[in-house]
Copies of this chain bind each other. A is one copy, B any other.
Amino acid sequence: MKELKDRIRRDGIIRAGNVLKVDSFLNHQMDIQLFEAMGQEFRRRFSDVEINKILTIEASGIGIACVVAQSFRVPVVFAKKTQTKNISGEVYTTKVESYTHGRIYDVIVSKEFLGKGDKVLLIDDFLANGKALEGLARLVKDSGAELVGAGIVIEKGFQIGGQTLRAQGIRVESLAIVDSMDETTGEIVFCE
């Protein structure tokens, strides 16, 4: 998606350790008009399949998922990261390791809001090692819902996540796939 790649080139900041900071428009401050364009692009890419629910994970996936959901006219459910299960009733739960925060979260979704008959699109801002997405895919499987695919804003193509998910047969559509980035020159190369 050209508009997104241009924006990443313009406003993304590369930091040591393959960190790509896009918090001026994607995951701290959020450019809602860009999100609308992303929603239309995901809708175009997934136009051949039926989707009736979007699942994301707190926190930075939520805003993107809600705007994207407008293009699909479907509700959004966000999985909660928790170390204290404060959702009443029964939940689906799995464990996800966060490299960013260096710890393991319980990720939960209420059984009321995910189950048989749901045709689910996963939405998230980043795909790197794929742990969060794999966790969401497990929750979908456990619930008896159907996983239609995953829509990712930025995939780090040089990390293992995309390959792992696709090898599991999950359809992954990423709006920008970073092939390499250079902290010293600031250059970002995208996959075509």
Contact = CB atoms under 8 A, between A and B. Distances in A.
Chain A interface mostly helix, strand, loop or mixed? mixed
A75 interface: yes
Interface string A38-73: 000000000000000000001100111111011001
A66 B64 CA distance: 8
Given A62-B59, A66-B67, A67-B67, A23 B75 contact: no
A interface, size bucket:
35 or more
Interface string A63-106: 11111011001111110100010111000000000001100000
A184 B66 CA distance: 34
A179 to B, nearest CB: 24
A83 to B, nearest CB: 10
Contact of A88 (B15, B36, B75): B15
A31 B69 CA distance: 10
Contacts of A126: none
B30 A59 contact: no
Contacts of A86: 100-101
Given A36-B70, A62-B63, A67-B70, A78 B112 contact: no
A29 B66 contact: no
B80 A29 contact: no
Interface in A18-37: 21, 23-25, 28-33, 35-36
A30 B112 contact: no
A32 B74 contact: yes
